[in-house]
Amino acid sequence: MTLAPGLHHYLIIAALLFCFGLCAVLSRRNGIAVLMGIELILNAANLNFVAFSRYVTNALGGHIFVIFVILLAAIEAAVALAIVFAIYRHFKSVEVPQVHEMQG
Amino acid sequence: MRSPRYGKSRMEISQILHIAGFYLFALITVVAGFFVAFAQNIMRAVFALMFALFGMAGLFLFLHADFLAATQVLIYVGGVLVLLLFGIMLTQQMVEADIRTGRIQFAPTLLAMFIVLGFLLFLIFKTPWNISTASGFEETTRGIGTLLMTEWLLPFEVASILLLAALVGAVSIARARRPGA
């Protein structure tokens, strides 16, 4: 591993971002903060895809994958925020621990 | 590369700038990601997420992914982040002045985080990556367009149907129920 940026540097950045995203997903109380953690995790995966596409396969397949992941992240944000609004109307709160009584 | 005694050539200076730019964007991304996970104020977390996404776009540029960098800025910073901001502003009770967000199960989360991080770093350094020596793409937009219209045409169309379904679903979930409707 050298000073000049190589595959390892990008993989380490992606690993750090993944862990921060994991931390946000597991420990945040606010539902929207949990969504932000999910976005961070998806971004870490994207960075891995692009780094492998640049340094290992040298083909554009990884880029196509990243486009689909970005698209799915946008869809996920829209639908999940709609669900968060529905939860907010029902429970008057978006705190995750208060929403444990989900049945019927 | 010339020896240092002839002074720094243009090539070396541009290389130094390249490396410095990479570390700048990497630092922005990682520090902003840290604040997304650990900031107390949720508005600060959202703006940290914005910096993380911008830094990620910069890293995409360093990986010769120009189209993806533009897409990242347009969709994430322009779309997803505005959506998240709307979500926060609409769901905070304005009576409680400070928009703080507490945390649950903090110690187990940190433990899980460090275990996962150690495992990932172990894998990254132990795996013999098959690194190619190619110098990267000159420009990617034409290649991505060709691939999307030939090899990945079916996933592309399915994704558009998925977008339509998500649009309808999001509207129907988020709409306030009218009594009797």
The answer to whether the Cβ–Cβ distance between A81 and B144 falls below 8 Å is no
The candidate with the shortest Cα–Cα distance to A96, out of A33, A42, A36, A40, is: A33
The residue of chain A nearest to residue B54, with distances taken between CA atoms, is A43
Strand partners, B41: B100
> Is A94 in CB contact (< 8 Å) with chain B?
yes
Contact B84 A36 (CB under 8 A): yes
- pLDDT tens-digit map of B43-58: 889 999 999 999 999 9
Residue B160 corresponds to which amino acid?
S
Distance from B54 to chain A by nearest Cα, in Å?
11
CB contact (8 A) between residue B62 and residue A5 = yes
Q: Report pLDDT for B97.
A: 45
Neighboring chain B residues of A84 at a CB cutoff of 8 Å:
87, 91
Q: What is the ipTM of this complex?
A: 0.90
CB-facing half-sphere around the CA of A47: CA atoms within 13 A: 32
Question: Residue B103 has what DSSP assignment?
Answer: B
Quick one: what percent of chain B has pLDDT higher than 90?
A: 51
**Terminal C-alpha separation, chain A:** 55
Q: Decide if A44 contacts A15 (C-beta within 8 A).
A: yes
Percent of chain B with pLDDT over 70: 85
The pLDDT tens digits of the residues spanning B92-106 come to: 765 454 555 567 788
B111-163 pLDDT per residue, tens: 999 999 999 999 999 988 888 877 777 788 999 999 999 999 999 999 999 99
Is B87 within 8 Å of A32 when comparing Cβ atoms?
yes
- For the record, the structure tokens of A3 come out as 């000073």
> Has residue B5 got a pLDDT over 60?
no
The DSSP output letter for A95 is B
Buried (b) or exposed (e) across A46-80, using 16+ Cβ within 10 A? bbbbbbbbbbeebbbebbbbbbbebbebbbbbbbb
More confident site: B100 or B65: B65
Which residue, among B59, B143, B76, has the nearest Cα to A55 in the 3D structure? B59
Three-state SS at B169: helix
Smallest Cβ–Cβ distance between B75 and the set A6, A37, A74 belongs to A74
Residues 6+ apart with CB under 8 A from B93: A92
pLDDT of residue B36: 92
Q: Which candidate from A8, A39, A86 shows the least CB-CB separation from B49?
A: A39
Residue B109: list chain A partners with CB under 8 A.
22-23, 26-27
Q: What distances in angstroms separate CA A53 from CA A10, A63, B58, B132, B172, one per listed residue?
A: 12, 7, 16, 10, 39
For chain A, residues with pLDDT lower than 70 are 1, 100-104
Shortest distance, CA B166 to any CA of chain A (angstroms):
6
pLDDT of residue A95: 77
Instruction: Collect all residues of chain A within an 8 Å Cβ-Cβ radius of residue B51.
Output: none
In this prediction, residue B103 carries a pLDDT of 75
The residues facing A95 across adjacent strands are A30
**Chain B nearest CA to A67, separation (Å):** 7
Work out how many CB contacts closer than 8 A connect A with B. Answer: 228
Q: What pTM was estimated for this model as a whole?
A: 0.87
Instruction: Count Cβ atoms below 10 Å from residue B103 Cβ, excluding itself.
Output: 17
pLDDT over 50 (residue B91): yes
Single-letter amino acid, residue B169: G
